[in-house]
């Protein structure tokens, strides 16, 4: 029986092979190494993908990434329906108040409650958002500066799991939760928002809610404050 380690045995057998067969063995070995390298690269790519966060943070609140939005728009007829919503907002003259895709964000806690981060509101609710976007663009932004949307339309299921009110204006696509882009303090933000609410008065139908940090709610479906 041949003695020695497996490499020595292989080398002795390899050395006794004809020259053309030796070349073939090197080709086989090279192809095998190449395949192993490709498998490693694929594994590394998949591993890195698992490390990628499905969200970005706006003032500490999580909103789903653009890649997540792209996946959502690939589902069923979402891209077509979103295009129709965008056209509706453009025709109403409010598509410049915020990027239309921001209005698909259900909230910042979708990971915690295991709900989709995006949803498209039923067409019957679309007109409800017009006055809200006009108020944000024409009154709110000139007062406190640009804002980002962290929650817009919510499905009944999302709203229930998130602990929202049964009468939440998010469910009828009238309300938005926002955060300022600037570093305005909470104290200054509250003062500016309350002054704006008082100045616009009941005719504005402005609903104003102030939450923790610098998150706040705005709608135009009933003059009130909380």
For 47-57, the pLDDT digits (tens) are 666 557 889 99
Q: Do 122 and 171 meet the contact criterion of CB atoms below 8 Å apart?
A: no
Buried b (16+ CB within 10 A) or exposed e, 51-68: eeeebeebeebbbbeeeb
Give residue 53's pLDDT.
Answer: 83
Which residue is associated with the tokens 């955060």?
179
For 70-119, the pLDDT digits (tens) are 999 999 899 999 999 999 999 999 999 999 999 999 999 999 999 999 99
Give residue 43's pLDDT.
Answer: 81
Give residue 30's pLDDT.
Answer: 81
Give residue 9's pLDDT.
Answer: 64
The residue with greater pLDDT, 32 or 4, is: 32
Q: Does domain 55-225 have CATH number 3.40.50.150?
A: no
Which residue is associated with the tokens 């940090």?
213
Domain boundaries, given as residue ranges, for the chain? 6-51, 55-225
Cβ within 8 Å of residue 22, ≥6 positions away: 14
CA distance 208 to 223: 8
The residue with greater pLDDT, 20 or 162, is: 162
């Amino acid at each position: 029986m041949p003695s020695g380690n497996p490499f020595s045995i292989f080398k002795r057998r390899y050395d006794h092979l004809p020259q053309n067969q030796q070349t073939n063995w090197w080709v086989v070995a090279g192809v095998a190494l190449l395949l192993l390298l490709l498998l490693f690269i694929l594994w590394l790519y998949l591993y890195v993908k698992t490390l990628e966060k499905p969200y970005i943070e706006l003032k500490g609140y999580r909103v789903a990434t653009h890649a997540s939005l792209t996946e959502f728009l690939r589902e069923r007829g979402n891209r077509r329906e979103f295009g129709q919503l965008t056209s509706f907002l453009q025709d109403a003259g409010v598509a410049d108040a915020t990027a239309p895709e921001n209005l698909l964000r259900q909230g910042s806690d979708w990971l915690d409650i295991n709900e989709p981060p995006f949803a498209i509101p039923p067409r019957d609710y679309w007109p409800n958002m017009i006055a809200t976007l006009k108020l944000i663009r024409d009154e709110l932004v000139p007062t406190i500066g640009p804002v980002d949307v962290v929650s817009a339309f919510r499905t009944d299921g999302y709203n229930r799991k998130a602990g929202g009110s049964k009468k939440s204006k998010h469910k009828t696509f009238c309300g938005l939760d926002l955060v300022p882009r600037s570093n305005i303090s909470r104290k200054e933000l509250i003062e500016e928002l309350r002054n704006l609410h008082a100045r616009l008065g009941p005719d504005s139908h402005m609903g104003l809610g102030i939450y923790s940090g610098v998150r706040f709610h705005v709608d135009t479906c009933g003059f009130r404050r909380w």
